[in-house]
A and B are shown apart, each in its own frame.
Chain A
Amino acid sequence: MELKDLKKAWASVSSDKELDESQIREMLSKRTSNLIERINRNIKIGFVLLFLLIVLFILDDFVFSPQVLDAMGNGITIPGWLLFINVFSYALILSTFIYFVLKYYRAKKRCDVNCNLRETLQKIIKILLLYQRLFYLALITFSVAVAISFMSGMFMGMEASAADSGMLVTEIPFNQMLIVFITGIVVLSLLVGGIFLFMRWGFRKLYGNYIQKLKVTLTELNEVDD
């Protein structure tokens, strides 16, 4: 077939069975499967969940845990420095999340589906990279929070145990402290490292190829135009 016959061959191709108005109307009521819409929903849900979690943690630090410790009656209180770290980290998490969300919505407003292909690709890639950064930030923050809580819990446990034996923490034999410390580090590394690696693998598996595909397509569009 010569190239000039391409159009003739194309013209012979029929389209699928046409849909009527009611079938098309039905489609309008269905939820879109578009990735950006799904990311939008995830971010909104994530924001609400994050806010609720932070409220819960604050209540835990200032209301529930002190009540439980009071009920135990052994005079242990949550140290002030720990409360400070907790409140500081909540504020940091919330403000960083808000910062990224604002950047995300600014990128989203750049153009809608009426844009040409190149602009659409640029926008989607930017949004996905921002979302990726937000995801890793949340993951790192979670890991650090778990690590700090774990270590401080371990320290307080050791302190309480030493107090029960009528000792100060500084009087615990060095090799015992070392064993507890190393065990703690190993458990923490496995726990936090495992979660981190698993979530990172999951994200890359889900979106990694897609981001790469979009970048390749954009490169092709930019090729000769430069």
Chain B
Amino acid sequence: MEKEFLQIIQKNQGIIHKVCNLYCDSQEDRSDLFQEIVAQLWKSFPSFRRESKVTTWMYRVALNTAITSFKKSKRRPDQSSLTYENFQLEDEGYDTETEENIKMLHAAVSQLTGVEKSIILLYLENRKYEEIAEITGITQNYVRVKMNRIKKKLKKLMVNEE
């Protein structure tokens, strides 16, 4: 069982990395959250009955863990301090426009709530509304409503950034 689990995680670890990048400010927090998500996935693996896709299961556990993570109150930076390094560009061949878009994206996304981040993440990862509803526990109708609100909010935030 462990071997199978490790293969699944290794193949799909990009999901966990993206969730950690979206919800954490610092490298230390990202490492902690990554480890916690892996631990929770391992804990829930025996009861994962393959009724949903592996990726759906991973998104569900990862987002649950990220949104409900408890950090002892230290002086916490505010949400807007998600740094640019959270959103790294691939090394090969990027242009200035893409870089600017990335900066605008991270600045805007950092100002979303935990739930909004989860929905926009799943949308950007090309998940269907049905899957987003299954993961978050809300109706498909509300996913559409929420998505419209998030898009308006992002548009406003990106205009301000420009």
Contacts and interface: CB of A to CB of B under 8 A. Distances in A.
Interface of A: 1, 3, 5-10, 12-16, 18-21, 24-25, 27-28, 30, 32-35, 112-121, 124, 205-206, 209-210, 214, 217, 220-221, 223-225
Interface of B: 2, 6-7, 9-10, 13-14, 17-18, 20-21, 30, 32, 34-36, 38-40, 42-44, 47-48, 57, 60-61, 63-65, 67-68, 70, 72-73, 87-91, 94, 98, 100-102, 104-105, 113-115, 118, 124-126, 134-139, 142, 145-146, 151, 154-155, 158
Nearest to A15: B17
B114 to A, nearest CB: 6
Contacts of B63: 117
Given A18-B10, A221-B138, 9 more contacts: A5-B101, A8-B98, A9-B105, A16-B88, A18-B17, A24-B9, A27-B34, A117-B118, A217-B115
Contacts, number: 158
Nearest to B113: A220
A33 B146 CA distance: 31
Contact of B137 (A12, A113, A206, A221): A221
A30 B42 CA distance: 12
A35 B32 CA distance: 13
Contact of B10 (A24, A117, A206): A24
Contacts of B154: 3, 6
B104 A15 contact: no
Contacts of B135: 116-117
Contacts of A14: 88-91
